[in-house]
Structure 1
Amino acid sequence: MKTYKLIINNEKYEAKILEYSGSHAKISVNGNDYIIQIEDDAHSTIPKLTRPEKASAMAPNFTKGTDANSGEVRSPLPGVIVTISVKEGDIVKKGQQIISLEAMKMESEIAAPTDGKISKIHVREKNPVQEGDLLITIECDEVCVTTPTPKSSRQTPKPPSAQVTQSIDNIVRAPLPGVVLDLKVGIGDVIGKDDVVLILEAMKMESEISSSLSGKVVKLFVQKGASVQDGDPLIELEV
């Protein structure tokens, strides 16, 4: 990824282009991510820099991550699921909005890449997700062909899935950095698979962190107000 070093009004800036399409781009300036809208006017080549302060502003529809051939809808960027507009068994049309994802204080609409039936929803509202996480599987009207996901030229570690998983030590870990707002369980509680165990504030959104196993809570590694990093232990289970 090329880095541009700029000096504007004697201030130094370092910019990187993270994503680019015909009408929008995602850039990082001094570590802060922005969505750029590029004007359609053929006479203007100057992009508009937009950084809405309100979470209700709508971001562009990203097509990255949706594969019409396989029927898999994946997250185009890290964020938090705001709304899921469909349920399993629903019939959808290509281009129909199926999920709203909040990222960088903006809501992005995720659309169906093909006509078909919703066969599986892999996330829930308020779930945090990472780029590439599987959101929805669509059973295509026509035969779908599974195509391998192209590998990025940038070799970066694969972040953990937002659907919190346990390692062999039966520990629930944080799927992304944030602050613990509330603990929903205590030591000795018996929980089931997919039960919400705590509320994590990440990217200015409250995310429900759930367990992928059933068991008894034997240890709490965090308390309300604690800051956690990606992969930090939260809760230990006896299964």
Structure 2
Amino acid sequence: MISEYRTSSRTELGAQITPLGNNPFSWPKLEPLTVEAKWLEKQRLVSFSRHNPAAVSFDILRTKVLRSARENNWRSLGITAPTSGSGKSTIAANLAISLTKHEKIKVGLVDLDLRRPRIAEMFAHSGRYSTEEFLHGECLIEDFFVRFGDNLAIGASQHASGSNAAEVLHGQSAGQVLKRVQEELGADIVIYNLPALLVGDDCIGLLPRMEATMLVVGAEASTVADIDVCERELETRTNLLGVVLNKCRYKADQNNNFLGT
């Protein structure tokens, strides 16, 4: 699934990640979510497998992400793409699952792609509140997030917002809520599935709130020109962690799947 990953990080592993906030949230309070394995497989969530070649690639990606997070003390990671169809939601979900294989790491996964939400559907989750309601402060963390396994907290809704998505995402209330998530959820790292970068201004206003961002490009969905524009935009507004080439049809040697720079 993944063909290339590159990052600007050059140093060795730093200190271990420690939980966020002075009063970490009690995860047992979160409603547990159970999903059938066949459904997850249908959604291309392969990181559970220890033998699937794609799962191995996600584990390598996980290790590189953790290295950069530890070096820079990053606890929030946004994942975006030039346009829809690159598979950024699938990458975000699989990366989150791969991270949870480390039992002592707590991971948050939040879907902020209000116009095209995918995370909730992937996990067969139908919550009481929409993401828009959560960003407006109309519900608590424990009302919106669910717990998948012991150490993955998912905040997502299948409800798509309308034409006011950008205003919701860029509003003061959303900023305060996302800050609360970082401070109160107690996750070691929170992955945000962001809107596509070139389809509007939804994503641009969120980038300064991300400590680092990863760009997912589709082998048959993204042009070189689009990738160049996105890289320049991300480098000026956030820390560009790397670029992942997704949906590549050719088979490459595993050692060449992730190219450091």
TM-score surpassing 0.5?
A: no
Structure of higher CA gyration radius: 1
Q: TM-score range by the shorter chain?
A: under 0.3
Q: Which has the higher strand share?
A: 1
Query: Does 1 or 2 have the higher relative contact order (CA < 8 Å, sep 6+)?
Result: 2
- What TM-score does the superposition give when structure 2 sets the normalisation length? 0.23
